[in-house]
Structures are given as structure tokens and as C-alpha cells.
């Protein structure tokens, strides 16, 4: 979407992803939101608009998303919205809202505790209710079908998949918020049994609990609140056909289109954080984006190191924004995904001043 | 885990109205037939959709496809979940029925992973008693 | 070519079932420990002084964290602030068959209500806002954590069966009208 490019990320915070958080979801959000606001030098009462991304089905709590709002403090009454999607889409909605020009700050957060539920039960409900959900089709199955098509097309090998996993988890050692990290030998990984052939355990994301918060500001307000705002130069999202058998699972045309609309058409970029929840998807996304070989992809470890569903995509945005704010990079790209096997994709391009 | 464990179950008993397209597909399964739907440019979509996902055109020309088909991709489910259609190791696959231009996700009861390959031909096995559900086509089998 | 299905074949039955299992949060662990012991505890906000039962780990109005140090005990007596009499309708999962009271009870010392409480020992048409009540505890050996979850809706059902009139004069409306829900 073409819009104003003077909206920036001026504050952010995230929790360390864990397999099962001892505290409830709101308890995870309270300090995270507070830290993001503090980093932005903003009092919660000054926030113009609040938007959150989460999914009640993860914890099985009806209206859990309403309780999550208590972390933002809904008294005095606030202007807010919610998306049953990754927090990246909450950020998109806040970015759109800021276009109106009548407010100049927004608070965004994403959170999810996958630990109480079984992913294969919950995620099947995201699928077509007549043809797919009743068969209990689960995310790992769909990712497995996608992976095999990549292998059959000669676009990747199982070694490529293992290398993505090993590189991600090695990089995650430098990320205090990552859940799975370490030095894994690729040959040893390839000796492990299949979980959903051709996928092995290392090709899958961990099950995570986590939360992330971001503060957006516009124009001079952004310059006032942060020393080095991460300016959103472009952000766009596109969706493809739902039925897995009606689109090419080995490419991601929606990612290519979203990137182009966001102002990235391939070529050098300082850093790219991609929401590849399964290792083969990184192969697909690199090609869809036109990232040159040697691009710094997922220095955070990506979704293979931590996958707090509903926060994963927004964390990719934060990882890029953090590096811009720290002065480590000047231009970066973050990718978020929704639906199954890359059905829905968002690209956010950010720059330092 | 050191604290008390709480368990709960959420149940949603849906009675889904299916309309003339999905309804025709389910009714056909009960008669041991598979139907797709033809788009304006002549492609046959399986499973049948009410609208062409690429153009938005409303579709209504139902077409018999199969009964046999080709496996376009597959993955082996060594440990089925309680929600899966088969409770023994099986393959989930993308199967393109003969005469169709798209594939549907379904189970292949191949017996072992060694029997699975991209491009293999499969035929449907039907449930003994139909209950108006996708698994009236119980599973596909190697042809 | 296939014909459209007959009208009676236009509904597909689909039971979706999702199971959840988790450990109680540390705050709720302590809450259940107290319930089993015959006490009701909550958290008192260090900033505004409001007491939430059970504690949430934060004050939703001040947005400050609360913890064990903020734990306080509240009475097992209170006031009905609002109620309805539910006439059960048969639906999948419905267990009730006879009309029952669904009341909000503001425990003495608390600022948040206990919702969905049954009021017994009084004809339904005499249940009223302002009615003073006391807890009807389960025998200690029958108290458990069952029904208490991390989902944030509180509940005492695992230890207290219902509330019954305490015999005190009704509480005046002005004292509870900000706690109706």
C-alpha cells in the first residue's frame, strides 16, 4: 500500500520465548507493553490508538483477547482494535490508522501461549471446514507436502533444509529471547528420523509462549521520542488461494507482490527477518523476495528458534527495528505470514533516517 | 511441571449448511463419485468451489472426475493424531483425480512409506456407510 | 453431470473438539491452596488499593504488577450485587435441568465480583441485589482445583458450592452499585 512514509517504530520489547510460560498471557504482556512504552518515552495515556494480535483458541479462553487489553490499560477508555492474526497485522492496522493524521502515536502488541493446546487440533480449524478441517490436516502435514514438492522440483535438497535449521539455531545463540539455539552438525541432523517425511524435527518450529510490543509514532513525534527511529518506508500484504492444491506451494507470489508494493524488488539489503516457520519455507521466501546470496537472513534465529504464534511476525519486525535503532544496519526487511504454507504474506521495509 | 494441572475441552457441535456446490460434492461421495466444477476458462477445480478463486466468477457447472488419480505430493504420517482419518501410519497427499486441473488433500492408505511416490496412481476406497462427510471417501489406495 | 442435492441433504454435521491442559500459574496455585484451606485470597494493588479476587498478577486500572507481597485475605461473606434466574435450555453440553440463580457476589474486602454464583436457601423470587450472603463450603476433603483455570475468569466452584443468606440486613445500593457486573 502506498501511504505516508513518515511513520516509525520508536519503542519495542519482547519476552524470551519458552516452551511453557508459568504465567498467564496478560501477565506476559504487562511488563512487555510497559517496557516498550518506556523505551519510547511515552506514557500509556498519551497513546492515540492501540491494536493487538492474538488468537483465543491457543489457550482456549473465550475473550482472552479482551483480557489482554488490560496490559495496555483500558482506563481511561482507549481507542483500540484487535486482529485474530499475528501482531504484524495489528501493526499494519495501526499504520493505516496513523495515516488519518489526527493522532501521532500507536501501541501494538502480539502474544500467544501455544503450550496449553495441541497445535494439530487448533490449526486444523483455520482450514476449509468442509474439505480439510474434518480430515485433521495439520500444519506439519501441509509443510511436508510443500517440502516434497520443492525436492521433486529440484529446487532444494534435504541438506539445504538442515543447513537452514543449523544456521538459524547457531545464530540464535546470540539472541537472548530465542528458545532453541545451539551448534548442530548438519550430518547428524540428517541422520534423525522423519517426523512427517521429508521433514525432520529440526525442520519444524518449536512450540512457544511469548509476547512482543511495539510503539509507532509519526513524523516529528517519532524524532522526539526516539534517537534513531526505524522508519517504515513501505508495508504491504497479499493473500493467495486457500486450497493447497490450487496454488504453487513451491513459490510465494504473494510475498513477491507484497515486497514490490512495499518498495523492495530484490537486490542488496542489510538484513532480512523472515517468518519461515518450516526450514523449506526459507528457501521459497529467499527466491520470492529475490534476496541475493549472502544476505544476512534471520540473525535472530527466526521462527525455527522461537515461534510464539501471533507474535512471530511482529518479532521479525522488531528484530529489524532493533538493529536499525542500534545503528547496526540502515535498511532491513521483515516478513510475516498467516494461514498455512505461506498463504498470506506481509513485507515491511524499514530504514534509519 | 510441579503445580496442579487443569484440563478442559472446548466443543463446537457444528451443523454446517453446505449449499448446492459443496452439497453436490458430498452427495456424490455417498454415491461413490467425485465431482469437480468447471471454471469459465475450462479448468476443472477439485474440490469444487462456489467461486473461481482467481477471477471471482460464480461457478455452477459440476463435472464428474476420477475415479482414479495421480499423487502430486505426499508426506508420511508415522504417528497419526486422533483427528486424522486413519489410525495407522498413512500418507497425506495432494491427489489430482483424472479429468481435474487441481489436487485435493486426502489420505493414501499405502501400508508403508516405501509404497509412496510422486506420480503414482491411486484409486478411492469408499466408506461402507456414507455419513455425508469428506471421509465417505475413506482413503485412496495404490492402484 | 450431477444434480444439486435434495433439501434434506444440505447439512453436514461436524463436531470440533479442542483439548487443553496446563499447569496453574503460581498465583492461582496459591489461590487454590487457600481455597482448600477454607480461605479466599486476592491481590491488593499497591497503587490504588483495590482488591482483586483471585489476584491477576497486575491491577488492570493502574497497570502495575502485583505479586505474593500484595496477597490479602477477604471474607467468605458478601453481597449479591446483581443476578438473574436462568431457565435451562437444552443444547449440546447443557447439564442443568432446573432454573437456577446466576449471581455476582461482592465479597467483603474485595473490589471485584465473583460471577456466576448459585444462591441457595431462599426462594428464587426473593433473591435480590443487596442480599447479604455467606459461602456454603464443600467439606474440606471434597475441595480441589477443578474448574479453576488460567483463563482469568476466577471462580470458587472447586471449594464453594453456593452462597446462602447470612441473615444480615440488606446492603444499601450506594455501597455496591459500582460493582454490579
DSSP 8-state symbol, A46: G
Q: Domain limits of chain C?
A: 23-179
First to last CA, chain A: 21
Q: Torsions phi, psi of A282, nearest 5?
A: -65, -40
Question: Nine-digit cell at A104?
Answer: 501521532
Residue B1 is predicted with a pLDDT of 47
Among B4, B9, B26, beta carbon nearest to C18: B9
Question: Nine-digit cell at A263?
Answer: 518498495
Residue C8 is predicted with a pLDDT of 57
Residue C5 is predicted with a pLDDT of 55
DSSP SS3 for B3: coil
Residue C30 is predicted with a pLDDT of 95
Residue C3 is predicted with a pLDDT of 56
| Cβ-proximal residues to B36 (8 Å cutoff; 6+ apart), any chain | B44, B45, B46, B47, B48, B62, B63, B65, B97, B99, B100, B102
- Average pLDDT in the B10-30 region? 94
User: A299: distance to nearest CA of chain B, Å?
Assistant: 30
Residue C146 is predicted with a pLDDT of 83
Nearest Cα residue to B19 out of B78, B66, B59: B59
| Cβ-proximal residues to A57 (8 Å cutoff; 6+ apart), any chain | A117, A122, A125, B10, C18
| Cβ-proximal residues to A352 (8 Å cutoff; 6+ apart), any chain | A228, A229, A230, A231, A324, A327, A329, A330, A331
Is the separation of the CB atoms in B97 and B87 below 8 Å?
A: no
- Cis-peptide, bond into residue B47, ω within 30° of zero: yes
pLDDT more than 70, % of chain A: 99
- A132/A194 Cα distance (integer angstroms): 23
Residue A194 is predicted with a pLDDT of 97
Is the separation of the CB atoms in C120 and C135 below 8 Å?
A: no
In what helix (H) or strand (E) does residue A164 lie, and over which residues does it extend?
A: helix A158-171
- Burial grade of A154 (CB within 10 A; 0-12, 13-18, 19 or more): exposed
Among C5, C10, C32, beta carbon nearest to B4: C32
The CB-based long-range contact list for A155-162 (8 Å cut-off, 24+ gap) reads A155/A250, A155/A283, A155/A287, A156/A280, A156/A283, A158/A190, A158/A198, A159/A186, A159/A190, A160/A283, A161/A198, A161/A199, A161/A200, A161/A203, A161/A279, A161/A280, A161/A283, A162/A186, A162/A189, A162/A190, A162/A200, A162/A202, A162/A203, A162/A279
- Burial grade of B9 (CB within 10 A; 0-12, 13-18, 19 or more): exposed
- A157/A168 Cα distance (integer angstroms): 17
Residue of chain A nearest B45, judged by CA positions: A246
DSSP 8-state symbol, C119: B
Residue linked to cell 486500572: C61
Would you say residue A333 has pLDDT above 60?
yes
Dihedral angle sign, alpha carbons of residues B98, B102, B105, B111: positive
Could you give the count of Cα atoms lying within 13 Å of A256 in the half-sphere of its Cβ? 9
Residue of chain A nearest C60, judged by CA positions: A70
Among A57, A130, A136, beta carbon nearest to B18: A130
- B39/B47 Cα distance (integer angstroms): 12
Q: How many residues does chain B have?
A: 143
Would you say residue A27 has pLDDT above 70?
yes
Question: For residue B127, what pLDDT band results from cuts at 50, 70 and 90?
Answer: very high
User: A42: distance to nearest CA of chain B, Å?
Assistant: 38
pLDDT more than 90, % of chain A: 98
CB < 8 Å from C in window 24-83 of B: 24, 26-28, 33, 35, 61-64
pLDDT digits (tens, 9 = 90+) for A95-143: 999 999 999 999 999 999 999 999 999 999 999 999 999 999 999 999 9
Nearest Cα residue to C179 out of C67, C43, C63, C52: C52
CA dihedral A126, A129, A134, A138 (to 10 degrees): -20
Task: Estimate to the nearest angstrom the gap between the alpha carbon of C41 and the chain centroid.
Answer: 14
Per the DSSP assignment, residues forming a β-bridge with C41 are C73
CA dihedral A188, A189, A191, A196 (to 10 degrees): 170
**Is the CB of A136 less than 8 angstroms away from the CB of B113?**
no
CB < 8 Å from C in window 33-62 of A: 33-34, 44, 57, 59-62
Residues of C in contact with A125 (CB under 8 A): 16, 18
Per the DSSP assignment, residues forming a β-bridge with B137 are B126
Residue A176 is predicted with a pLDDT of 98
The Cα-based distances of A280 to A42, A90, A260, A306, A316 in angstroms read 40, 27, 22, 16, 18
What is the pairing mode between strands A80-83 and A49-53? Answer: parallel
| Cβ-proximal residues to B29 (8 Å cutoff; 6+ apart), any chain | B126, B130, B133, B134, B136, B137
Is the separation of the CB atoms in A80 and A109 below 8 Å?
A: no
Domains of chain A as residue ranges with CATH: 7-117+207-224 (3.40.47.10)
CB < 8 Å from A in window 17-56 of B: 18, 22, 25-26, 45-47, 49, 53-54
| Cβ-proximal residues to C132 (8 Å cutoff; 6+ apart), any chain | C77, C78, C79, C165, C166, C167, C168, C169, C170, C171
- Average pLDDT in the A262-269 region? 96
Is the separation of the CB atoms in A338 and A303 below 8 Å?
A: no
More confident position, B6 or C58 = C58
Question: Nine-digit cell at B136?
Answer: 465417505
Chains A and B: how many Cβ contacts under 8 Å? Answer: 105
Question: Nine-digit cell at A327?
Answer: 545503528
Q: A158-171 and A279-289 helices cross at what angle (nearest 10)?
A: 90
pLDDT digits (tens, 9 = 90+) for B60-111: 999 999 999 999 999 999 999 999 999 999 999 999 999 999 999 999 999 9
Question: For residue A4, what pLDDT band results from cuts at 50, 70 and 90?
Answer: confident
Q: What is the ipTM of this complex?
A: 0.97
Give pLDDT tens digits along chain C (181 positions).
455 556 556 799 999 999 999 999 999 999 999 999 999 999 999 999 999 999 999 999 999 999 999 999 999 999 999 999 999 999 888 999 999 999 999 999 999 999 999 999 999 999 999 999 999 999 999 998 887 877 766 678 789 999 999 999 999 999 998 887 6
**Is the CB of C151 less than 8 angstroms away from the CB of A60?**
yes
Which of C19, C20, C43, C66 to probe the A interface (max A CBs under 10 A)? C20
Would you say residue A10 has pLDDT above 80?
yes
The Cα-based distances of C138 to C32, C132, C163 in angstroms read 13, 20, 11
pLDDT digits (tens, 9 = 90+) for A147-195: 999 999 999 999 999 999 999 999 999 999 999 999 999 999 999 999 9
Nearest Cα residue to B118 out of B53, B61, B57, B73: B73
In what helix (H) or strand (E) does residue A236 lie, and over which residues does it extend?
A: strand A230-239
Task: Estimate to the nearest angstrom the gap between the alpha carbon of C56 and the chain centroid.
Answer: 14
Amino acid at each position: 500500500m502506498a501511504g505516508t512514509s513518515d511513520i516509525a517504530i520508536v519503542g519495542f520489547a519482547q519476552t524470551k520465548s519458552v516452551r511453557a510460560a508459568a504465567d498467564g498471557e496478560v501477565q506476559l504482556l504487562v511488563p512487555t507493553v510497559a517496557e516498550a512504552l518506556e523505551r519510547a518515552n511515552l506514557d500509556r495515556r498519551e497513546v492515540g490508538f492501540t491494536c493487538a494480535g492474538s488468537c483465543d483458541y491457543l489457550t482456549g479462553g473465550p475473550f482472552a483477547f479482551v483480557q489482554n487489553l488490560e496490559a495496555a490499560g483500558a482506563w481511561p477508555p482507549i481507542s483500540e482494535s484487535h486482529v485474530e492474526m499475528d501482531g504484524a497485522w495489528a501493526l499494519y492496522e495501526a499504520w493505516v490508522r496513523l495515516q488519518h493524521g489526527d493522532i501521532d502515536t500507536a501501541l501494538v502488541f502480539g502474544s500467544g501461549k501455544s503450550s496449553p493446546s495441541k497445535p494439530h487440533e487448533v490449526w486444523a480449524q483455520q482450514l476449509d471446514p468442509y474439505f480439510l478441517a474434518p480430515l485433521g490436516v495439520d500444519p506439519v502435514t501441509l509443510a511436508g507436502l510443500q517440502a516434497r514438492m520443492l525436492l521433486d522440483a529440484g529446487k532444494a535438497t534435504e541438506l539445504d533444509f538442515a543447513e537452514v535449521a543449523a544456521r538459524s539455531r547457531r545464530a540464535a545463540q546470540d539472541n537472548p529471547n530465542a528458545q532453541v539455539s545451539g551448534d548442530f552438525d548438519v550430518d547428524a541432523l540428517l541422520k534423525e528420523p522423519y517426523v512427517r517425511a521429508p521433514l525432520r524435527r529440526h525442520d519444524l518450529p518449536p512450540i512457544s509462549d511469548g509476547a512482543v510490543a511495539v510503539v509507532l509514532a509519526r513524523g516529528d513525534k517519532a524524532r522526539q521520542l526516539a534517537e534513531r527511529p526505524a522508519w517504515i518506508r513501505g508495508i504491504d500484504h497479499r493473500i493467495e488461494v486457500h486450497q493447497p492444491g490450487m496454488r504453487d506451494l513451491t513459490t510465494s507470489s504473494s510475498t513477491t507482490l507484497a515486497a514490490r508494493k512495499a518498495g523492495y524488488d530484490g537486490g542488496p539489503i542489510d538484513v532480512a527477518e523472515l517468518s519461515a516457520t518450516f526450514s523449506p519455507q526459507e528457501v521459497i521466501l529467499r527466491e520470492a523476495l529475490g534476496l541475493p546470496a549472502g544476505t544476512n537472513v534471520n540473525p535472530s534465529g527466526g521462527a525455527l528458534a522461537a515461534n510464539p504464534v501471533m507474535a512471530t511476525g511482529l518479532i521479525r519486525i522488531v528484530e529489524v527495528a532493533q538493529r536499525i535503532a542500534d545503528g547496526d544496519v540502515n535498511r532491513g526487511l521483515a516478513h510475516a505470514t498467516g494461514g498455512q504454507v505461506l498463504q498470506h504474506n506481509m513485507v515491511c521495509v524499514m530504514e534509519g533516517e | 511441571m510441579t503445580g496442579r494441572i487443569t484440563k478442559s475441552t472446548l466443543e463446537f457441535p457444528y451443523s454446517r449448511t453446505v449449499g448446492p456446490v459443496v452439497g453436490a460434492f458430498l452427495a456424490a461421495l455417498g454415491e461413490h463419485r467425485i465431482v469437480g466444477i468447471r471454471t469459465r476458462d475450462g479448468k476443472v477445480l477439485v474440490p469444487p468451489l462456489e467461486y473461481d478463486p482467481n477471477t471471482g466468477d460464480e461457478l455452477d457447472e459440476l463435472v464428474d472426475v476420477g475415479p482414479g488419480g495421480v499423487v502430486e505430493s505426499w508426506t508420511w504420517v508415522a504417528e497419526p493424531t486422533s483427528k486424522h482419518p486413519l489410525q495407522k501410519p498413512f500418507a497425506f497427499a495432494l491427489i489430482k483425480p483424472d479429468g481435474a486441473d487441481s489436487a485435493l488433500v486426502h489420505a493414501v492408505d499405502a501400508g508403508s512409506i516405501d509404497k509412496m511416490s510422486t506420480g503414482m496412481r491411486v484409486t478411492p476406497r469408499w466408506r461402507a456407510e456414507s455419513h455425508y462427510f469428506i471421509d465417505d471417501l475413506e482413503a485412496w489406495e495404490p492402484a | 453431470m450431477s444434480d444439486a442435492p435434495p433439501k434434506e441433504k444440505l447439512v453436514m454435521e461436524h463436531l470440533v473438539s479442542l483439548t487443553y491442559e496446563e499447569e496453574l500459574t503460581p498465583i492461582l496455585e496459591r489461590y487454590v491452596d487457600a481455597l482448600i484451606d477454607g480461605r479466599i485470597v486476592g491481590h491488593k494493588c499497591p497503587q490504588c488499593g483495590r482488591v482483586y479476587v483471585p489476584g491477576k498478577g497486575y491491577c488492570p486500572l493502574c497497570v502495575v504488577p502485583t505479586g505474593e507481597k500484595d496477597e490479602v485475605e477477604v471474607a467468605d461473606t458478601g453481597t449479591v450485587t446483581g443476578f438473574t434466574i436462568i431457565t435451562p435450555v437444552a443444547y449440546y453440553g447443557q447439564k442443568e435441568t432446573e432454573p437456577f440463580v446466576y449471581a455476582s457476589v461482592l465479597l467483603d474486602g474485595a473490589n471485584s465480583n465473583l460471577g456466576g454464583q448459585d444462591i441457595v436457601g431462599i426462594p428464587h423470587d426473593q433473591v435480590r441485589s443487596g442480599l447479604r450472603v455467606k459461602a456454603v463450603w464443600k467439606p474440606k476433603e471434597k475441595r480441589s482445583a477443578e474448574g479453576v483455570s488460567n483463563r482469568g475468569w476466577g471462580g470458587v466452584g472447586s471449594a464453594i458450592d453456593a452462597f446462602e443468606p447470612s441473615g444480615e440486613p440488606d446492603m444499601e445500593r450506594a455501597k455496591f452499585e459500582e460493582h454490579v457486573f
